[in-house]
Amino acid sequence: MSTVAAENAQQLLDRVIHRIAPVWPLDSFVAVNPYWGFADRSFSEVAAQLQGTVGERVIMDRRWYADLLQNGKLNMVDILQATEDLGLDVDEEGWREYLRESSELPMRLPRLPELMDLRGHASVSRYVVEQISHFLAAYYDRGQSLWSIPKDPKTGLFGTWRQYTLADRSLGPMGLRPVRSQLLALSSNGAAARQWALQTMGIPQPAEEAYLLVLLKSIGGWASWCRYLLWQAELQGCSDEDLLDLLTIRMVWEALLRQTAQSKVLERWHRQIQAWIVDDKSADMEDARRGEVLLRASEIAYRRQVATSIRRQPAKKKNSTAPLVQAAFCIDVRSEVFRRHLEGVMPTLDTIGFAGFFGVLLDYRRQGDYAPRTQTPVLLNPGVHVMEQGTKAIIERRFRRLRRGAEWKHFKLSAASCFSFVETAGLSYVGRLLADTMGWHRPSIPPDEAGLSAAERATLQCVLPESLTLQERVAMAEFILTGLGLNRGVAPIVLLAGHGSSNTNNPHRAGLDCGACAGQTGEVNAKAAAGLLNDPQVRKSLVDKGWDLDPRCCFLPALHDTTTDRVEILGGMDDPRLDAGLLAELRQALEKAANLTRLERMLRLEPDVRDPETVARNMAYRGRDWSQVRPEWALAGNAAFIAAPRWRTREMNLAGRAFLHDYDVGKDPDFAVLTLIMTAPLVVANWINMQYYGSIVDNQRQGCGNKVLHNVVGGTIGVLEGNGGDLRIGLSEQSLRDSNSGLQHEPLRLSAFVEAPIEAMDRIIDGNGALGQLVNNRWLTVIQIAPDGSLFERRAAGNWVKM
């Protein structure tokens, strides 16, 4: 292969692997936009491409929208408006005829193993995926398996797979014994194997890139895992070859099968590829554009609900005194419900919405851990390294308890004892089984609590590094206060409430915690921020610089449990500056708001349960019940992002569907906070929104199927559905729908309402590549809230259309 040809091939492979979105491991599970690798292209173009190559659906079937129209949840006026907005030339009768017709699936690229499958015989296409998946599960194992594949950096992923496959005895029963001799003759070098596979497959150039994408998507779950490894390496300015090696493995399999397949199968394969190349794809694109029109029409209907409720001017207050308490919550949609009720039961309190990392870009290392864990949005690099601080005795006790547990588990699972374990120790498990069944025990213990009693845990602290100078600490404090909008008046009590979720027997439990904190709870961030803002030296420096901080002001860290809606204050209550009466009033208000929030959320979980005490018991039980597949609805229903002063939405019932970020442009003269909001929290909200969207429109490829059938693989890597197949990504069916009321998440792209000058937003969008692609290619919509409350939708830079 010539140098130019090799460079072209490398560019081709790089384009393919960067189409894959990453997936984070279970212990730091975060929502990811599954179409992140396609954000450089328009929404409808990607919909047509994925449907016409992989067979992946990006837009709901037209019958879905036909049913909405028939049921009155969608109207023709909105469809015609969306038609005009997207430049289509379709009249009302044309739409009614289109919605009456059945969808015609476009021709997609066939993979060779699919054509080798014979009825009544073991599936070759399924075997290829299973074989690769079994190897990767052992290769990447994180402590679940008692035997793992040794890794040699020099050999790499592809070379190790080659060795594994040469020793694999399952090839014979599948009728693929000749594969072994061909593989034995193939170089273990990944680059050489890729070159051989490309030449052997002989895919025509017009279909080459699409075919390689189809191959990688056939093992898409594991491809997403390898993309995560590459993502992490790129954050550190490094690289990782595993995703490219995984594509190589899949290419080599295809090339090996090409040499063993019957001639009539190969002939059929070539015919279908040629037919795909010459197929007129304009009809597919037209169908995708029409699908986007229907999607936009449903988004117009939702935006109308939000727009009619946004306040045009502040409500008249009975008294205009400054708030006695300010409570900052994460922008998570679950916080919207709690904030609304908390403001209702305590009028002297103001709530604030801010990303759950509270502006502290940190990672956190417990004593004894080998590596820190990230507590910031995954789009950002942590700049502060926080350490756990505790007495040596407590740390040693935790280590001993966890080690005993690990040794017991190893004994229970080892080959020497697994058959005799039930007879030997079975009776001792009766109590545990009964407690599991009755929901008597506590939920699964979070990592920070494992091995510790509540009293021991209370003594541990999150300590900022001593290497931070006073000047750096003051700068961090100023950043937090500015982001929270507290640069003009601070209340005597400021509550910083992160959030987490308490539930058991759920592999994806980290995904119910704070997605802004890399799948962790906001506890560490709240403690670190409160400790910094309570630091006497920092406070004195802030006052000296002109900050309006009441000497009595106290910052209290707290944690909002989104399963039970209980808010726990995590420390600082012995501060002598605290007003005991005001603190008691706050704690009472938090309990009342929790009751009201539970009652509202229960309507979506069990509508027949209405008594407050019964609801509270039910919510607590859901988190402890080992068989509960739906401890909470998490972020299902999310559809809007609002960055504006709180008075715009105060007392407005957004039904837990909006990310609420407080923002006052009058306190942000250089638009630094606006830039942070639009380039970090807004993008994170898009990731969450598109994960739910993708899991709804095509759960087979972008969701993880039936939660009841999940089996954890590799310790913390992910889940399989059943005992094999590809690694599953996205959300389970149980997180999206129930048998009574159907879908709990409506598939809508995110609508971002931002109160800021148009010119400033245009500059930020055009100055940030990732955000610009999302907005300009219609993966999310930005809407300006003008000072008078009017709304303007951004169609292009400088082109804002009044809604």
Give 387-394 contacts, CB < 8 A, sequence gap 24+: 387/462, 387/463, 387/465, 388/364, 388/460, 388/461, 388/462, 388/463, 389/460, 389/461, 389/462, 389/463, 390/456, 390/459, 390/460, 390/461, 391/459, 394/452, 394/456, 394/459, 394/460
Binding residues for Zn(2+): 330, 332, 499, 514
| Cα–Cα distances in angstroms (integers) from residue 664 to residues 19, 506, 667, 680, 771, in the given order | 37, 39, 6, 17, 21
Q: Report CA Rg, the chain.
A: 28
Whether 562 and 501 have beta carbons less than 8 Å apart is answered as yes
Cα separation, 66 vs 72, in Å, equals 10
* 3 state SS of 250: helix
Residue 234: name the closest of 516, 18, 15 by CA: 18
Residue carrying structure tokens 């609304």: 340
Q: Kindly tell me the sign of the dihedral angle through the C-alpha atoms of 35, 40, 42, 45.
A: negative
Residue carrying structure tokens 């501060």: 575
| Cα–Cα distances in angstroms (integers) from residue 478 to residues 96, 472, 493, 756, in the given order | 57, 10, 18, 22
Whether 156 and 163 have beta carbons less than 8 Å apart is answered as no
**Structure tokens that stand for 585 in this block:** 């009033």
**Structure tokens that stand for 593 in this block:** 């708001």
Give the chain's length: 803
* 3 state SS of 32: coil
Q: Residue 295: CB partners within 8 Å, gap ≥ 6?
A: 59, 60, 747, 748, 749
Cα separation, 35 vs 780, in Å, equals 12
Amino acid type, 402: L
